[in-house]
Amino acid sequence: MMEPLLTINNGNTNITAGTYTEGLDKVLDFKELTNEIKSKTTHVLIANVGPDFEKWNGPKFTSISELRNDNALLEMPINYSKSIGEDRLAGAYWVYKNWIQTKKANRVMLIDAGTFTTLDLITNDGFEGGHIFPGTDTLLKSFSNGTKLPRLRVKEMNQINTIPKDTEEAIYGSIQLAEKGMIEKWWDKFRPEIIILSGGLSFWYEKYLPKEIIKEPNLVHLGLHQLYKDLSH
């Protein structure tokens, strides 16, 4: 039976919607939402970090910011100001409920690789905080500020393991060195037990990470659904 819930992840680049049948059923591009789906929905939860909706003719939605107080999001303590992005909060909440509270881990590194890459730490003390870095494609785009440097794409990137021999290799290689070093330094400093990886560019970050990682491509929607379940009980 379809749950009367719609979740929306309004990101910096893409907007997606989640529908549910005893758990996450489908993740759709926002433009694929039909009036039939909206008519069966009574609750809409949103993680909103992108542009505001120009038009929304569905039920009134609730954003994560409306659910948190100064120091917590429901059961999860938050050691971070209210400036935190709602997508980071949604993902962290799912990790806290499904990994920390269930005693599967005490310290989790959460990587969300998209337009920006966030590295966050979730522990028994809740959401501890984290860092925001330019995403892989955002870094690639920055090289086009050079008059004669090419605009390269993530999907065309090969792993560079030797000293670069041309400009394309030099750009790709520099980004790979920077991102790998960033993750290794973070791991060494904050000592998580496991890594959970999400985001549209997570396929590339897998190359930098240990084999023991957990991949959750729809983490924001899972977090919003977890919030809905906890609010309903």
Tens digits of per-residue pLDDT, 11-50? 888 899 999 988 899 999 998 989 888 888 999 999 999 8
- In sequence order, the 6+-apart residues with CB closer than 8 A to the CB of 208 are 176, 179, 180, 183
Distance CA 168, CA 177 (A): 14
The closest of 74, 61, 198, 178 to 126, measured between CA atoms, is 74
Q: Is the alpha carbon torsion for 143, 144, 148, 154 positive or negative? A: positive
DSSP state of 68: B
pLDDT in tens, 99-155: 999 999 999 999 999 999 999 999 999 999 999 999 999 999 999 999 999 999 998
**Domain spanning 68-137+166-232 has what CATH number?**
3.30.420.40
Rounded to a whole number, what is the largest CA-CA distance in the chain? 60
24: enclosing H helix or E strand: strand 24-29
Q: Where are the domains of the chain?
A: 5-65, 68-137+166-232
pLDDT band with cut points at 50, 70 and 90 for residue 65 = very high
pLDDT at 76 over 70: yes
CA dist., res. 230 & res. 15, Å (int):
24
Nearest to 208 by CA among 175, 183, 171, 172: 183
